[in-house]
Amino acid sequence: MTNAKQHFEQLSLAYVSQMNISRRQIAGDSDFVLIDVRNPSQDIADIQDIIPGAIHIPEKVLLGEVAKLGLSKDKQIIVYCWDNMCSLGYTSATKLFNAEYTNVKELLGGIAAWKSRSLPLLRLNSEELD
Number of domains in the chain: 1
Domain that holds residue 72: 3-129
pLDDT digits (tens, 9 = 90+) for 84-112: 888 999 999 999 999 999 999 999 999 99
Percentage of the residues of the chain whose pLDDT score is greater than 90: 59
- Count CB atoms within 10 A of the CB of residue 62: 22
- Report how far residue 31's alpha carbon sits from residue 53's, in angstroms, rounded to the nearest whole number: 12
The CATH number of residue 49's host domain is 3.40.250.10
Q: Which pLDDT score, from 0 to 100, does residue 1 have? A: 42
pTM assigned to the model:
0.83
Q: Which pLDDT score, from 0 to 100, does residue 129 have? A: 54
Question: Which amino acid, one-letter code, is at 33?
Answer: V
Question: Which amino acid, one-letter code, is at 73?
Answer: K
